Amino acid sequence: MQKSLHIDPGKCTGCLQCESACSLENEGLFNPAKSRIKVFTFHEEGRFVPYTCTQCDEAWCMQACPVDAITLNPENGSKDVNADVCVGCKVCTIACPFGTINYNASTGKVVKCDLCGGDPQCAESCPTGAITYIDSDATGLDKMRAWASKTDNAGA
């Protein structure tokens, strides 16, 4: 079963536990500035939205890379950057429609979410269930259930 990160912004409180966990896993430090997942706060609307790579099948970043530094991880479906091959040209950052692959000036390479090799720490650390790692084929199930519960079939 392939799994995907599933994000429910309505449950997010903006605590940044996910950013701390991501940066610890990937950079060895608590450093939200270097996190692959970002929580955006829309203060005046009272909304918090975590956002990260969704691991597209036809990944724009992977297609655009001129040196094939981005490859499919067949085990969990993530598109991983091979830092040894990456030349830091940033073409992938232009190609990605979502902005979820980014250049790291201190290393001269790009970085993106690699699902922590199949154990994404953002989901692990999220205290509210806003970020979960679930069956890719069933990411809509909770929403379906919620709407189904509101369906009135009394008149049927």
Residues that bind other proteins (CB under 8 A): 10, 13-17, 20-21, 23-24, 27-34, 43-48, 125, 127-128
At closest approach, how far in Å is the CB of 50 from other proteins? 12
Beta carbon nearer to other proteins, 124 or 142 = 124
Beta carbon nearer to other proteins, 21 or 101 = 21
Beta carbon nearer to other proteins, 46 or 97 = 46
Q: Which of 66, 57, 71 is nearest to 112 (CA)?
A: 71
At closest approach, how far in Å is the CB of 24 from other proteins? 7
At closest approach, how far in Å is the CB of 36 from other proteins? 14
Tokens of 75: 């085990």
12 backbone φψ class: left, alpha, beta (φ>0; ψ -120 to 50): beta
Q: How many CB atoms lie within 10 A of CB 56?
A: 16
Query: From CA 38, how far away is CA 52, in angstroms rounded?
Result: 7
At closest approach, how far in Å is the CB of 31 from other proteins? 3
Beta carbon nearer to other proteins, 65 or 131 = 131
Query: From CA 137, how far away is CA 43, in angstroms rounded?
Result: 33
